[in-house]
Structures are given as C-alpha cells and as structure tokens.
Structure 1
Amino acid sequence: MEFVAVAVAGLVGSFCSTLSPTTELAWVNRLCSRGDIASELGSFLSPNANIHFPRSEGFLESTNRWSTLGTPNISVVVEVANENDVAETIKYANTHSLPFLAVNGGHGAISSLEAVNNGIQIWLNQLNSISIAKDGSTATIGGGAPSKHITETLWAENKQTVTGICECTSLIGPGLGGGHGALQANYRLVADQFVSLDMVLANGTLITVDENSDLWWGMKGAGHNFGVVTSITSKICDVPHNGLWSYTNFIFTHDKVEVLYETINEMLLPDQPQDIISFSFFTNIPAIDPENSVVIFFILREGKEAVGSEYTDPFTNLAKWLRMEETSPPCQKEGNTQLRFPVDLQEFNPTAQHAAFDLFSKTANEAPALAASLFLLEGYSIQGVKVIPADSTAVPNRDANLLISSYLVYKPDGEGLDTKAWDLGENMRQILFKGSGQEHMYSYVNYAAGNEGPRSWYGYEPWRLEKLRALKEKYDPEHRFSFYAPFD
C-alpha cells in the first residue's frame, strides 16, 4: 500500500487546497489539518482499494444516489476490494468516532439515512464476484454485485436465483430486508435463498453466519442493522421452460378504475396461480388523457408463450415491459427526490382504489413537478413465501398478497414541494389502509419512507422487536449500524 498511500496523501493535499476557510465539515477539517488518513488507514488496505475525497471523480460516482431523500453526509469514501478492507475501515472509523455506511447499489432511500453526519462511506462495488459451486446448487455472490450481473452470469450456466425485478439494485441490499422477486412463488424470498453470509461486525470482526448462528434469524429481514455483508452463498436452481415468460398489458382510463380492481380481486386473489404475476400503476400519459391519470395493468406468465385468454379476456372486455432495466427511469441517478410509501394489502378495495387514484390525478394536475410520479401495485404469487414458518425469520407479514407503494419523483425545489409530495404519498397510503379494514399497517422495509416506525417494518408481535433488540445488544452494543430503518 505504500504507493497508494503516497497517491492518497497527494489527493488530500490537492483537495484541501481548494477548500474555503469557512468550511464547516469538522471531519474534513481534521482530515486536512492532519492529512493522516493515507498513512493510518491506507497502509492497512489492499493494493486495489481506493480512498476518494470530495470533488474527485470517484467520490462523485460513489456518492451519487438514486434519491435525494435522506442523503447521508459523507466526508470520505473507501472503495474496498476485499472483506479485510471493510474490517480495517470500520476499525478506523471506530477509533476516530466516525459514523460509517456501507453502500452497494445506492438505491436505499429512507429518511433515517440523513442521520449520517461527516461519515465514511464503505463502497462495495468491487465486491462483485460470482462463483457457482461444483454441484450447481449454490453460488457465492459478492456484496456489491448488481442484480443484472448476477442474472446474466447465472443464466450463462442455465441457472437462476431470486432477485428483485430492478436490474440496477444489488441482491444483498433488498435481501437483507426480505426481498420480493418474480421467482418467489416457487423459490420464496431473496432472504430465503441464503445459505451463509460472510460479514463484518461493528467492531471489525469477520464472521460467517449460517443456520447455526442465533444471528441468522435477524439477518433475514433486518440484516442491515447488524453488519456489512461482504458475500453470500445463495441457493440457485436450473432455469425451467428455457426461461420463457409472456406478458400482456392494458391501459385503462379513470372511469374503469373500480371495475378493474374488482376484476383483479375476482380473477387473481386470494389464490393467485403460481405462474402468474400482475402489476399495475397509476401514471400520467397526456396523449391518452390530458386531464386525468391512467392505469397501466399487465399480467406476466412463466413458461407459456402467451398469458392465455382465460386471464386476459376479462381485462380485454374492460377495455413496455416492467421498465426496470438498467436504462429505464427507475435506475437513473439524476438528482431527483424519489419517495415511496408502502403498504401491504390482502385484496383491493375498489372504492378506495378510485379515491387514491383521484387524489393522485388531482395532485399531478395541480403540481406538474410531480407529473412523472407513479403509484405501483405489485401482485406477486406468494405460495412459496407462505410455506416458510412466520417465526423462522425476521421477515414479517408473509401472508400479504399485495405490495403497494407510491413512487413519487421530482426535482428538489424547496420545502413546499417536499411537503406536497409527502402529503400525497401518506394520504394515498392511508386511503388504501383504511379501506382495507386491516388492523395493522405493514410497510415493506426496502421501500420505506422512514416515518412508518419499527413495528410497521418488522412486525407487531412484541416478541419480534424484543428478539431483534436482544441480538442488537449482543452483536452491535454501540449501535453503530443505526441508519437504515433502525429499531433501537
């Protein structure tokens, strides 16, 4: 690391020479006055690790986030190349009483992240290796590997595993919160694929966690509260049906909202076929209706060349693909605020659906800055999810049929627009929750806005939070991992 340390020291000098004397970042001032991060930390890092400082290209790339919501305040980025780099960075942060935050895809968007102040970001993007076991039953996947890289690597060997539907997110990030995906009907959640986790605890200790550890329960559903996962060994399986999927999509105007969701209830709920997935979202397409929002609805079916008229005819009588690829809008990091207000439902209340739709449409007309927003209604098959005993993981509410969430997108433009967006998202969520008649509001932790609270994220049974907090006191007694949906 001698060359790297010298190079980093030079970067520190160059960076510090550009700072204004009034700079208020205490950690940056300390860094510039001592210039010792290169020698103190750099000398312990591997040759391929890098340290990035503000205004450098690496810093800008690594701290560029999918959403400006809850943006953490980062003073320096350590781009790690192996698990030991993660451990040494955590030890350094602890020695200097600095917060740290591990980042892979950069898509975690929750208000609690803004509690990171003058922190060290641990960037996992180099940890993207994938190796398939000789028997073909598992794969070991690096903590920074994005879903598209995982899918393409496995498919090249006629293998697959459960990932989220968005290509640009990581596998581990969503998996630590449970992880819904298109294959869950047959193979369960992302977290249910875990065989073992290599991770670094808050004190810099490297451990491997598997079913023999008491931490195993908490890592599957609330894992972001316990450590930095550097790699996982995950179950994989052969790709069936040559990977064939079919889909049909529809666009409905505002006058069809209630009958659409009545039909979905009748045709697909509560026992949705295992090979069927349904999605819908409220959006704005002025070319179709310049005054009202519309609903895009589509059905996907695995293993068939066509969805089948038995499923499509009812919707045809009423009246692009998921847009989750790397080049699609949901994968871009363009300085937008992107808010989600999730709520789990068992079925649709058509009247409540129409009320939420009307509010969405009205607000989009009154506030054009929000016109690019969506309201997403995901209907995965859940047979595989339900077969896992509810008390066997930290994932709550496995019986939920529907994952609902606003997806409010806008360029930051002051508190007034922020307030309007938050009010819209929360009011739509409350309309649907109250219309459901459910006792408790569950909010999928990977979509959380931050105002829902631990019971909504991790479950209302008192023993769940008690068990999580006991694990926290054992494995992270200083509460160093307390930035993403904390329960402490």
Structure 2
Amino acid sequence: MHHLQLKLAALLASAAAVSCQNYTQLARTLSNTAQIYQPGSAAFNAAVLRWSNFSTPVANVVVVPGTENDVVETVKFANEYSLPFLATNGVHGSITTLGKMTSGIEIHMSQLNSIAVAQDGSTATIGGGVMSKNLTDALWAVGRQTAYDHHWASTDLETVTGTCECVGYMGPGLGGGHGWLQGRYGLVSDQYVSLNVVLANGSLITVDESSELFWAMKGAGHNFGIVTSIISKVYDIQYPNYAMETLIFSGDQVEDVYSLANQQWFTNASMPVDLINWSYWYFDPTIDAEKPVIAMYLIQEGVQTVDAAHTNPFLQLGPIATQNVSGTYRDLAAWTGISLNDTPCQKTGNANPRFPIYLKSYNATAQRQVYDLFNQATTNASTPFSDALFMFEGYSQQGVKAIGQNATAFAYREDNLLAAPLLTYAPNGPAVDAVASELGNKIRQILFEGSGEISLNTYVNYAYGDETPVAWYGSEQWRQNRLSALKEDFDPAGQFSFYAPIM
C-alpha cells in the first residue's frame, strides 16, 4: 500500500510540473473526431463540472476520445509525461477519494456512445460513454411494439441498466450496478460477455471469461482500466407495462411502515420477482410543515394497477395520500424522481455526499432513531440540509442471488436492501463538510448496529469515501487478497486509484 501511495504522489507532482505542456504532440496521434479542451474554455468548464461539488478531481486538460485507440494514445501520452488521468462520463460519483486527483488529464468518454445490437438479438456492443437512458431508448427502438386487450406483444429489447437516467451505463456496472430488471437477470455487470479495456500501460485488451481479470471487472472494475466498450447480454421484453402506487406516510408511522415491509418481504417472505419497493424520506412543508414524510413506492411489472395483495396492507396503515400511475418501463425514472428533468440530474453546484449501507431487513427501532436524526437535520431553521433525501431501495433479488456469491468481485448478493442518506447542501467551507460527514456516518452507524451484521457492507457506487476497501469489496480475506494480487499484476503503479482504491 505504501508503495502505491508513493507512486501516486510522484504522478501528482509530475502533473503539476507539466501543467503548461503543449498538447500538440498528443493531438497528432488522435483521430479527427477527438477533441482537446483547455482550461478557460466553455467546453472545458462543462466537461469538468460534476453532480457533487465536494472533493472533486482537478484536471489541467480534457481529452474527448473519438475512438477506442484515442484512449490508448492518451494513456500512453500521460505515461510519457508522468501525468495522472481519470476517465469520466456521467460524473455522478461523489466519493471523496476523487479529490486526490489535483492535476492531470480528464478522459471524457462521451463520444464513445455507439450501440450496436447483434444480428441474433442476444447481445449488444455498447460504447464506454453510453448513458443509461440512451441505451434503454436504443434497445426499445429495435423492432416494433403493439398493444391489444391490455396485453403486449413485443420484439423490442432490454437489458439491466442503472435506474437514474443521467448516469453513465459503464460506471455503475463496474461497481456491480443495481437496476429495475435485476430480479429477472441479475446486476448490470452480470450481463457482461466481454470488455475492451485500456490498461495502465496503454495496452488495449479484451477481457472475457477466459481472463482472470473478468472476475474483478464485475464489481471493482474502476481499479483496473478504462472500459472503451463492452458486449452485453440483451433480452426480449416480456413485460413492457408497469404500474406504481405511491403512499405518503407521516413520520409518526415509521415503525409501522417498516415493520410491515419486513413482514411482507424480508423476514417472512422474499420480494416477488415482479415487484420493487423504494421509499424516500424528505421534508416537504406543503405536506407536513413539521417533519419529513415517508414516500413508499410499490412498483409492479406487467400490470396496469399494482396488485391489491401488495397495496392493501399499507393502505390499512392510513397513509396521508396515495397516487396510482401506469405506463411502461421508460416511465419508471420519472415516477421515482430520477429522470433527466428531475433535480438529481441537475448540476446545481451542491455537494451531494451519500453514506450507503446494505441491509438484509429493516430494524424498526433503528429506523425510528435515524428518522429522528434526519428530522432534526432537515427541519431546523438554520440547517443546510433541508433538501436532503433518505433513500431505501428494495429490488427483487432472484436474478442477483441466482449467481454464485463468489462468482464476481461484487460481494453483497445476499443483502436485500440498499439504504443511503443523500445530504444535499451548498458548499460553505470545511465546517459544514465536517457536519455532513459526522451526521451521515452517525446515521449509517445506527443502521449498522441495528442490522446485527459484523461487517459494514456498502455500495461502492454510492460511497462517501471513508468506508475502506473491506466495506466496498467484501470482508472475506480471500477477496481482498485476490483483488490485491490482480492490482499488482495489472496496475502496479496504482494509476487507477482515484475511485475507491483497492490499496
């Protein structure tokens, strides 16, 4: 570990020394469609702008590759001048380790956005810069779709993508990747057939099941290379139509709501494959002027109305309000507030740290304790966190658990729930950053203690940054050993160490 830290420090020092380097030499090696943005330009400013404005990476130049080989040439150039480099796309990662890049080259993947479906319709080749919504829309556009008698016949295609429309497809997948369809097919990374990867030495290789690196790319991939394209499994759409029932509860009902969720899905039964349950906590004084509300989403596949067997038990708790909607898979992001037009997809200059934890079930007592903390933090007259959001994501798990627990670097297939407070606030110096860190970690610690688990399990794609590799990649020693050995083989200088580094 000390060896890698010294190497990284040397890279950062070299980058500062050549910050005024003329990039004409690099431009000569790139394709005609590649672009280089210098600081001060509008294109540069737009490329480096991130969703979370806290502990952000700093670049001296942005390279926008037009081909996979442009990534190769950029990495070779960076190595020649001992420059750090960081590949970006959706720029939604808010982990504090990104701030360790204080100079260097940002490789902005946006032009590598091609999507090509194989002739047999079983796979698609997807560029490293493709966004989740673009992939969903492109696959749905293949073939035609007809509706009759409330049933659907379709030759359209789908695959597992991240839930939020404005995130990249590749980034979430390299950390495992949760999605609406994971109950059917598994995680985003479980769909990978092969990956084209530019390694730290500038070589472009294809990684598939014959490679020892394939295991690591599916859960810890950002530690090993830049993925320029992948071949992914795709599927015929079986159930294009969806329905959602939203039930708004008072915070006074927190124990009842989550005790019922446990009874329905996590202690006495499992989440049905066609059902997803999310919930948000947020302060909306137009609904409750004193405390945050609980918005419970029941999302069901293949129906026009969510089955009463799922909704009636919650309706009996007496929600403040309810709403029913129906549509298709492509409506889910808008229904849950994460479409391109919604606040989570806007770059507002706010800091957006998250503090994720995986759970197997809810602890109603812990839910009450963290609700009370969240209530105090969001409703105080002087709070910077009035726009904070607490997310609880409960996906169907059959497809995830059908794959062996040890089959990939993603370590948390046995967990059923992903909880994460999102403490949105306007940056105002280190004091408020410290308050956010203390609050987020206190909330997470309460949930951890209430879980009865012996190790903290976190989702690397939501990570705050202080969790340690054991929390990101699994507490089993063999996992840590395998990842460390692969890191020494494929990235001995630790050049891919700005996002949740293994070592």
Q: Scaled by the length of structure 1, what TM-score is found? A: 0.92
Structure 2 residue aligned with 1:477, among 464, 477, 492? 492
Structure 2 residue aligned with 1:89, among 74, 81, 100? 74
> Which consecutive residues of structure 2, in runs of 5 or more, have no partner in the other structure?
1-12, 143-155, 319-333
Residue 195 of structure 1: SS of its match in structure 2? Answer: strand
The 8 Å contact of residues 31 and 37 in structure 1, kept in 2 or not, is answered as no
Deviation at residue 368 of structure 1 after TM alignment: 3.1
Deviation at residue 387 of structure 1 after TM alignment: 1.0
Deviation at residue 28 of structure 1 after TM alignment: 7.0
Structure 1 residue aligned with 2:416, among 395, 401, 416? 401
**Deviations, residues 89-112 of structure 1 (Å, cap 9, x unaligned):** 111111111100000111111011
Structure 2 residue aligned with 1:370, among 375, 385, 389? 385
Matched residues in 2 for 1:101 and 1:415: separation?
25
Structure 1 residue aligned with 2:210, among 205, 209, 212? 212
- Letter of the 1:68 partner, please give it: N
1:26-37 pair list within 5 angstroms: 27=15, 30-32=18-20, 36-37=22-23
> Which consecutive residues of structure 1, in runs of 5 or more, have no partner in the other structure?
1-24
Residue 368 of structure 1: SS of its match in structure 2? Answer: coil
**Deviations, residues 378-436 of structure 1 (Å, cap 9, x unaligned):** 00011110111111110102100101111111110122221221122111111111111
The 8 Å contact of residues 114 and 127 in structure 2, kept in 1 or not, is answered as yes
Structure 2 residue aligned with 1:386, among 401, 404, 407? 401
**Deviations, residues 142-175 of structure 1 (Å, cap 9, x unaligned):** 0000000000000011100000110011111000
Residue 267 of structure 1: SS of its match in structure 2? Answer: helix
Matched residues in 1 for 2:22 and 2:366: separation?
59
Residue 259 of structure 2: SS of its match in structure 1? Answer: helix
Deviation at residue 69 of structure 1 after TM alignment: 2.4
Deviation at residue 29 of structure 1 after TM alignment: 7.1
The 8 Å contact of residues 85 and 104 in structure 2, kept in 1 or not, is answered as yes
1:67-216 pair list within 5 angstroms: 67-157=52-142, 158-216=156-214
Deviation at residue 30 of structure 1 after TM alignment: 3.8
Deviation at residue 31 of structure 1 after TM alignment: 4.7
Residue 295 of structure 2: SS of its match in structure 1? Answer: strand
- Letter of the 1:262 partner, please give it: S
Pairing 1:258–2:243 present: no
**Deviations, residues 267-320 of structure 1 (Å, cap 9, x unaligned):** 122411010000011100101211111111110000111111111011111127
Residue 41 of structure 1: SS of its match in structure 2? Answer: helix
Matched residues in 1 for 2:209 and 2:14: separation?
43
- Letter of the 1:94 partner, please give it: N
Q: Which residue is equivalent to 2:5?
A: none
Q: Which residue is equivalent to 1:14?
A: none
Q: Which residue is equivalent to 1:282?
A: 281
Q: Which residue is equivalent to 1:17?
A: none
The 8 Å contact of residues 377 and 404 in structure 1, kept in 2 or not, is answered as yes
The 8 Å contact of residues 19 and 60 in structure 2, kept in 1 or not, is answered as no
Q: Which residue is equivalent to 1:19?
A: none
Matched residues in 2 for 1:249 and 1:30: separation?
55
The 8 Å contact of residues 15 and 82 in structure 2, kept in 1 or not, is answered as no
**Deviations, residues 192-248 of structure 1 (Å, cap 9, x unaligned):** 00000011000100100000001001001000000000001000001112x101000
The 8 Å contact of residues 281 and 296 in structure 1, kept in 2 or not, is answered as yes
Matched residues in 2 for 1:421 and 1:29: separation?
34
